[in-house]
Every structure is written in C-alpha cells, then in structure tokens.
Amino acid sequence: MVIPSGCKPPEPQQLADEHARLARDMIIADLVTKEDLRLALSHQTLQFGAMLVVGLGLLFAAISFIV
C-alpha cells in the first residue's frame, strides 16, 4: 500500500476491514449458484447427446458402406 507523503498510515482495524472486504469479493466472484450449475449441466448434456448422434450416424454409415 502506497501512502502519500503527509498522510498517516491507516489504522490496523481499517486495514483488516479492507482486506476482509477484498477477500470476500474475490471469493463471492468464484461461487457458483445452483442455477449456474443446472444450466451448465443441461448444456453439457445437449453437447453429449449431439456427439452421440453424430458418432452413431457415422458408425452406421460406415457399416452400411462396408456391408
């Protein structure tokens, strides 16, 4: 922390409060809500389903091409 000349350093309690506020803000930014998780899982399920359909389509096309 840079203290301009002519100013006194912050009190320890003020400094502790500021650090606690910054830490809380950083932690809260990383939290995931249930709605965020539900949305991500539904998106992932759709992606997996699409890959499964494409993969099976390619497999059946290859089998019908060979036979």
**Statement: the pTM of the whole predicted model exceeds 0.75:** no
Query: At CA 17, angle to CA 20 and CA 28, rounded to 5?
Result: 30
Q: Quick check: 9 and 3 in contact, CB under 8 A?
A: yes
Instruction: Over range 19-38, report the average pLDDT.
Output: 84
pLDDT value, residue 58: 96
Percentage of residues in the chain having pLDDT higher than 90: 39
DSSP 5: T
Which range, of 27-31, 48-52, 62-66, averages the lowest pLDDT?
A: 27-31
